[in-house]
Structure 1
Amino acid sequence: MSSVYRKENCIVVKGDLYDFHRLLSQIHQAIEDAEYRDVVLDMEECTSAFPGPMLSLCAQVLAYRKAGIDFTLKAPKDMKLFNLFKNANWNYLLDPKNFKKSQFRGHSRIPATQYQTPSEQNEAVNKIVNVILGAIPDMQRKDFAAFEWAINEITDNVLVHSESSIGGLVQVSTFKRNSKQVQFVVADAGMGIPKSLRLGRPELTSDTDALDQAIREGVTRDTKVGQGNGLFGSYQICSLCEGHFRIDAGNAKLVFHNKKGLSISNERIPYGGTMVEATIDFTQQGLLEKALNFKGKEHSPVDFVEVEYERNDDGSIHFIVEQEAQSFGSRVSGKPVRTKLSNLEKMVSGSQIVVDLKNIPIMSSSFADEAFGKLFMQTGALTFMNKFTFINVMPTVQQLIDKAIAQRMAVGVVD
């Protein structure tokens, strides 16, 4: 059960927060009708919250704050939910006076990030795909490139089309345990897809018709600023891999579910902006690349691997370990290093991978085992020795890596 109601300038949320439209309506009434200039978001009794609704709420609060409205957050009492609010950066975005920016550095989530310029958008996307490369094992390069293309297109749409006063918010919110699913959410406080499309296509009189057209190939408000393939390609990626796709904008909601199919419905309470939520499943390799087929031709975008790693004249991959891990003292920090090296080995089969251990005077035995001992077993001795070259290795670190490989060969187990 859930409930949302207003007491003067205080908006109270109890139970699960899934449908954010009523919450935004109560905020609108407090500010526009009752003319409060300070609003309290009381979420102490909130029991669960989801990335799409929360990012939509954060986007609207940022826009109101920019217009001079003050917000105070009463964070959830439930400690697990409070930690989610903190780690996902929701606390900070809703109430920066009383909460600090998220310091979450794990490899299972990218906190909600605001971007307002092309350079900030590029930085956010690069951070996300870098984490994905170290989090999802056995990825095909074209699948990885398709994911990067989708999140780049959706975040870029905000800057090109939305006219959002606060730019956009993007968050990679879930890597489900023992699966290869990734969910990302992008939200803004702009004009919304229906209004944007009608600027160039006035015949789209209803918001549901506008969302129906938005996921079709080549549909855009102005072909001079875009080809209209961002939402189409992203929807195709999610549907082909049996994932999930959702758009909330204006008075309409579009949802694709792998079991229920596609539905487009009218929303009584409008959302003043656009929220796109996409869940992509990497389990079936090779499916994602089929989604990027425009006008009968396969699209092969430049990807993060090419830009970030394939830049040496001799064709080798330069992997600087100190830039790839938060620390060198735990097994947890070693796992994304191993996953990334394993993915790179498969993605760039003809290239030598130079593992540069400069400025690393020591590492724990558990890090050495997780990153390099297990990688040795995973790739096989011949591939490991032929494909990987280690440079700038201090003697103590060399001993730890050699010992980790020897012990791992004796155990012979890779999770």
Structure 2
Amino acid sequence: MAEETPTSYMLHKLAGRHDVSDFLTSIKKAHDSGARTFRIDASDTGTIYPAGAAPIAAIIEHYRSEGMDVKFTNIPAGSFVERVRIRNPYIASKENLNEPGSRLNTVWAYTEDSVFDLTNCVMEELAERIEFGPGVFAALNWCLFEVLDNVFQHSDKEVGFFMAQILKTSNRLLFCVADAGIGVHRSFYQGGKYRPPTAFDALTLAVRQGVSSTGDKRGNGLYGLKGVVESNEGKLELRSGRGYLRISPNGIEGGNTYGLVINSENHCTVVDFELNVRTPVDLGQVLGVPTQDLRLESIENDFGEHTIHLIDHAQGTGTRAAAERLRNFLMSYINDGAPYLILDFEGVAMVSSSFADETIGKLAERFGPVGFSQRFRLINMNQSVQMLLDRAIALRISAQFYRDDKIPARE
């Protein structure tokens, strides 16, 4: 018996829905023709965004579960396609999530038990990497948990796939959650109360307040996400089976066009959204109910003060990169409504001059001497640390004074 020749597919890019549809068409054709092997040539793979990577990882996992041998070939060493791990997504275990390295630009395979840990780890990293506008961090934290958990309400699958990405040049955050389950349309029919005639109708139902495929009143996840995206002037695209719904500042559109049908039992579902980092969001207003910022509460003492213990920040106090992450982290609390922060240096034996300048110096320059003293209170510094922080503040304020008054600063 002649050995089977593997079906090969050239993967050029993973940017969005068209790339996913093209890939699904090819692997489905190979599977339905009886092919047992499918080779993905990654020698020319370019642009990769979450909207392409997460759904294709879900599709690959499905065909592997059916016994198909799906492998990547010609992956350039150190390339982004290798970093993203589409071929072998990270399992979102506590151990993997706590390993050194970024949780972004990587496809994660997660279960219902790991939703909480995955959300927390991603949000913790985002808080250090970027400065959020007022309310954006809290709104995103809520949305991300709801959307990740939503997979297990509609898919009948035990695993979902997720990827997050920062586009710093445009101050945007990209997220995508995908599965290869039964699809939103069929999940409504299994729930029994709602019977939408098409996949598009099912998606329009899914974003309505209080609607869920189970027929109860818990359905606020996609409704809340839609509201946050609209408030933030971001973008949201839902795809499931043959239906799609797209929401952007240009309006709402949708229909039954883009096919993500794997077979009669499996319809790939994709929640693809992006937010503007700096555009404010009021989650309470979006949901129409008062909301609590549990993140702020977690650092609040009995007197309503919010304390950050510098010794707890594992990135250290030596480099500008570590300092920038800390500064973003502090500003996320300020922008989310903390009246002021107490920065507790207990246990911090030394900070570098560059670290002091990048955190405390730049914060003093940003708020000015009076504003800084109102927003930040520094305690428990040893003599060396206090000297370096005082110097960083003095240099930044002095430089600002000379710039504002157009007086040449001394070298």
Which TM bucket (shorter chain)? 0.7 to 0.9
Task: Flag the 1:74–1:335 CA change in 2: closer, same or farther, 3 A.
Answer: same
Could you say what secondary structure the match of 2:292 adopts?
coil
Task: Flag the 1:357–1:102 CA change in 2: closer, same or farther, 3 A.
Answer: closer
| Structure possessing the higher radius of gyration over alpha carbons | 2
Could you tell me the percent identity over the aligned residues? 24
- Taking the TM superposition and a 5 Å limit, the aligned residue runs for 1:263-342 are 263-270=254-261, 272-286=267-281, 289-292=284-287, 298-310=288-300, 312-324=301-313, 326-342=315-331
Matched, 1:379 2:378: no
Could you say what secondary structure the match of 2:174 adopts?
strand
1:139 Cα shift?
2.1
Equivalent residue, structure 1, for 2:378: 390
Q: Distance in 2 between matches of 1:125 and 1:57?
A: 21
- Aligned equivalent of 2:352, options 336, 357, 364: 364
Amino acid at match of 1:276: V
- Taking the TM superposition and a 5 Å limit, the aligned residue runs for 1:157-176 are 157-165=150-158, 167-176=159-168
Equivalent residue, structure 2, for 1:295: none
Matched, 1:232 2:223: yes
1:288 Cα shift?
5.6
Equivalent residue, structure 2, for 1:183: 174
Task: Flag the 1:325–1:87 CA change in 2: closer, same or farther, 3 A.
Answer: farther
Matched, 1:40 2:39: yes
1:158 Cα shift?
1.2
**Per-residue CA shift, 1:41-81, capped at 9, x if unaligned?**
2121223232112100112223444555443222554x8xx
TM-score, with structure 1 as normaliser:
0.81
Instruction: Kindly indicate whether the alpha-carbon contact (under 8 Å) linking 1:194 and 1:210 is maintained by their aligned counterparts in 2.
Output: yes
- Aligned equivalent of 2:209, options 217, 228, 235: 217
Q: Distance in 2 between matches of 1:39 and 1:396?
A: 62
1:276 Cα shift?
0.4
1:135 Cα shift?
4.0
Q: Distance in 2 between matches of 1:357 and 1:91?
A: 44
Q: Distance in 1 between matches of 2:324 and 2:30?
A: 48
Could you say what secondary structure the match of 2:46 adopts?
strand
Say which is worse superposed, 123-132 or 58-67, in terms of deviation: 58-67
**Per-residue CA shift, 1:179-231, capped at 9, x if unaligned?**
4422211112222211111222463232122122222222212244x522211
Amino acid at match of 2:128: G
Q: Distance in 2 between matches of 1:102 and 1:74?
A: 30
Q: Distance in 2 between matches of 1:13 and 1:235?
A: 35
1:260 Cα shift?
5.4
Instruction: Kindly indicate whether the alpha-carbon contact (under 8 Å) linking 1:10 and 1:42 is maintained by their aligned counterparts in 2.
Output: no
Equivalent residue, structure 2, for 1:124: 118
Say which is worse superposed, 55-64 or 316-325, in terms of deviation: 316-325
Instruction: Kindly indicate whether the alpha-carbon contact (under 8 Å) linking 1:41 and 1:74 is maintained by their aligned counterparts in 2.
Output: yes
1:374 Cα shift?
0.6
- Aligned equivalent of 1:85, options 66, 70, 81: 81
Matched, 1:146 2:139: yes
Equivalent residue, structure 2, for 1:195: 186
Could you say what secondary structure the match of 1:39 adopts?
strand
Q: Distance in 2 between matches of 1:161 and 1:382?
A: 53
Instruction: Kindly indicate whether the alpha-carbon contact (under 8 Å) linking 1:325 and 1:337 is maintained by their aligned counterparts in 2.
Output: no
1:86 Cα shift?
3.8
**Per-residue CA shift, 1:276-330, capped at 9, x if unaligned?**
01112244434665432xxxxx2233334235323x2232222123444524332
1:347 Cα shift?
3.2
Matched, 1:355 2:343: yes
Equivalent residue, structure 2, for 1:54: 53
Task: Flag the 1:188–1:360 CA change in 2: closer, same or farther, 3 A.
Answer: farther
Equivalent residue, structure 2, for 1:11: 8
Instruction: Kindly indicate whether the alpha-carbon contact (under 8 Å) linking 2:309 and 2:345 is maintained by their aligned counterparts in 1.
Output: yes
Amino acid at match of 2:276: D
TM-score, with structure 2 as normaliser:
0.82
Gaps of 5+ in 1: 1-6, 293-297
Could you say what secondary structure the match of 1:25 adopts?
helix
Task: Flag the 1:385–1:101 CA change in 2: closer, same or farther, 3 A.
Answer: closer
Q: Distance in 2 between matches of 1:75 and 1:104?
A: 27
Say which is worse superposed, 313-322 or 333-342, in terms of deviation: 313-322
1:153 Cα shift?
1.2
1:394 Cα shift?
4.2
Q: Distance in 2 between matches of 1:94 and 1:188?
A: 15
1:249 Cα shift?
1.0
1:101 Cα shift?
10
Gaps of 5+ in 2: 404-411
Instruction: Kindly indicate whether the alpha-carbon contact (under 8 Å) linking 1:187 and 1:275 is maintained by their aligned counterparts in 2.
Output: yes
Q: Distance in 1 between matches of 2:73 and 2:346?
A: 46
Q: Distance in 1 between matches of 2:309 and 2:67?
A: 45
Task: Flag the 1:46–1:394 CA change in 2: closer, same or farther, 3 A.
Answer: same
Amino acid at match of 1:303: D
Measured on the aligned residues, the alpha-carbon RMSD in Å equals 3.2
